[in-house]
Chain A
Amino acid sequence: MSETDFTPTEMMTIAAARALRNTDVCFVGIGAPSAACNIARLTHAPDITLIYESGTIGTAPTVLPLSIGDGELCDTAVTTVSVPEMFRYWLQGGRVTVGFLGAAQIDRFGNINTTVIGDYDQPKTRLPGGGGAPEIASSCGEIFITLKQSKRAMVDKIDFFTSFGHGEGGDHRARLGITTKGPTLMVTDLAVWRSDPVTREFTVVSLHPGVTREMVQAECGWTVRFADALDETPRPTEVELKTLRDLNARTKAAHSGGKTGEAA
C-alpha cells in the first residue's frame, strides 16, 4: 500500500478521530473507538482527556489496549480511580463531553444493541451485554459512534435496546427525561453521518473518497437518507496515515498472538 492509498478502515478511524476536539473529555469504548480516540490525541487533539471505564482518567497509551484495563492505561493516566467512582463522580456527574461507542447492531436513530441477537430469554446469539454503555449513552454530553457497515449490523429494528439513542426519533429522549444530546455523529468505513436536528435520523453528510450512494445503501439495512449538500470526506493526510499505521504496528507487536480486536 503506497503512502497515498488507504483502506476503508483507515479512512473510518481517521474521520472519526477528526470529530474529537482538543478540549473534549472522552469516554472511550474498546475496539474501533479506541483507535480513533488515540489518533485524535496523537494528531490534532494532544490535550484531549481520554477515559476508559476501568478508572483511568487522562490516559495516553503508546499502544492500543486489548482490554479496557491493560496496565499501560494506568501507567500513563493522570489518575486512576475506582470503578464506582468512575461511574458516579465522572460519568453520572456530567463531566464527560463525548462518549465514543461501537455497536454490534444499530438502527437509524442510533439505538444500539450489544446484548442478544434474537429473544432475550432464548437468544440466538448471546452477546457480551451493555457494560458501561447504557449510562454512557445517557450521561455523556453527546455520543459518537463508529462501526464498519454491514446489513447485519445496520438494521431496521434492533433486537434489544442495550443503550438508548433517539428511540423512535424526534424528542423521544426528552420525553424520557434525558437531558443530553445523544448520538450526533456516526462514522462508518463508507461515510460520515450526522443526526438530523429534527427527526434525529442519521443522515449521510459526506461520502469517503471513491464511495457512492449505492455503496452506502448496499451495506445498510434501512433506506438511507442523504443530505442535500453531500460532501466528500477529506482524504487522510500523510501525518494522519503515518500516525495510524505506526500505532497499529506498535499495537500488533505488543499483543503477540496476532489478533488485536477491532482496532487493527
Chain B
Amino acid sequence: MAHFMPLSDAVAQNLKSGDTAAFEGFTHLIPHAAAHEALRQGVKDLTLVRMTPDLVYDQMIGMGAVRKLIFSYAGNPGVGLLRRLRDSVENGWPHRIEIEEHSHAAMANAYEAGAAGLPFAVLRGYKGADLARVNPNIKHITCPFTGEELAAVPAIRPDVSFIHAQKADRKGNVLIEGIVGVQKEAVLAAKRAVVTVEEVVDELHAHPNACVLPGWTVSAISVVPGGAHPSYAHGYYPRDNASYIAWDRIASDRDSFLAWMKANVLEAAPQDFAGRVSHLRSAA
C-alpha cells in the first residue's frame, strides 16, 4: 500500500547498502531526485539495474556507490560516452565495477518476466552477437514445439525499483503518461517500489487504457516537483538537453565531477529540483 512520505524517508525505508536497485526511466521520467537522495544517504555496494544508464548512474558510479551494473546501453544519448563509467571500467576509479551487459530486447523481456513472476525470459535474440560469449547469463533453449533455438536470460527481480511519474491521486494510484518505457514492469518486478511524482491530485482523469499503477503495487510515494530533471516529465517540462550536453564536460575530470556532486547533490535537497525546471516549464 502506498504511503506518502518525504523522499528522505522513502529512500531510508526502502533502500539499503548491498541492494539490487533499479532507477528506471527510458530517457523520460528518470528518477534523478531519488538517486541523489540515495547518494546523500551514503548507500554503498549497490547492484544497479537499468536499460539505459545515463547521467544519474554515471554520478552513482563516480561516487563509488555501485558494485555491479546490469544494463544494455550506457551512454549520454546524442552527446557521447559516460565518462565516470569509463573511468571505473578502464582505470578502476574510484573502483572497478562489475558489468553484466545485455541488449535492450533482453532487458525489456527480463523485466517483463520479473513482473510476470517467471524465472527467465525467452527471446529471438543475440544471434551472432558477442555478448552471448562474454555474459554467462545469456543462455539458449530449444523451443519444445518447433525446435527453434532461442535466447534465455534470467528475470530481473530488483529489491527495490524507483520511478518518477506525473501524478498520483490521494489513494496513491500513479499515472504515467508519454514514453512509458519499462517502468510498469520495473515496479511490478520489484519487491518494493518508490515513486516520486510531480503532484498529487484529487482525480487522475486517466483514459481507461492509461498506464496506471494501483496504489497497492507501490510502497512509498514522495512529491518532488522537477524530480526527473534534467530528464523530463511529459506535460510538465521538457528534457533539458543543454544539461545533458554540459554533463560531458563536468564528468570529464574527477575534480570537476566531485565539485559538481558536492554542490548539486550532497549539499542539495529534493526541493531544489523545482527550481531547476522553472525555466523550462513554459516550453513543456
Please give the residue numbers on chain A whose beta carbons come within 8 Å of chain B beta carbons, in ascending order: 30-31, 53-56, 65-71, 73-74, 80, 82-84, 86-88, 91-92, 115, 120-121, 123-135, 138-139, 160-164, 167, 172-173, 176-178, 254-261, 263
Contacts and interface: CB of A to CB of B under 8 A. Distances in A.
B239 interface: yes
A74 B179 contact: yes
Interface in B17-60: 26-28, 51-52
B109 A88 contact: yes
B53 to A, nearest CB: 9
A178 B232 contact: no
A87 B185 CA distance: 14
B63 interface: no
A135 B86 contact: no
B103 A138 contact: no
A54 B112 contact: no
Interface residues of B, number: 56
Contact of A66 (B26, B77, B131): B77
Given A71-B232, A261-B78, A82 B182 contact: yes
Nearest to B124: A92
A193 to B, nearest CB: 20
B31 to A, nearest CB: 15
B79 interface: yes
A164 B129 CA distance: 6
Nearest to B86: A126
B130 A120 contact: yes
Contacts of B134: 120-121
B103 A131 contact: yes
Nearest to A118: B90
Given A54-B28, A55-B26, A83-B104, A126 B89 contact: yes
B241 interface: yes
A56 B130 contact: no
Contacts of B184: 82
A174 B245 CA distance: 42
10 contacts: A66-B241, A69-B26, A115-B131, A120-B130, A120-B134, A126-B90, A134-B103, A135-B105, A162-B131, A177-B149
A83 B127 contact: no
A91 B125 CA distance: 11
A128 B75 contact: yes
B85 interface: yes
Contact of B27 (A69, A160, A163, A257): A69
Nearest to B182: A83
Nearest to A77: B179
B178 interface: yes
A163 B239 contact: no
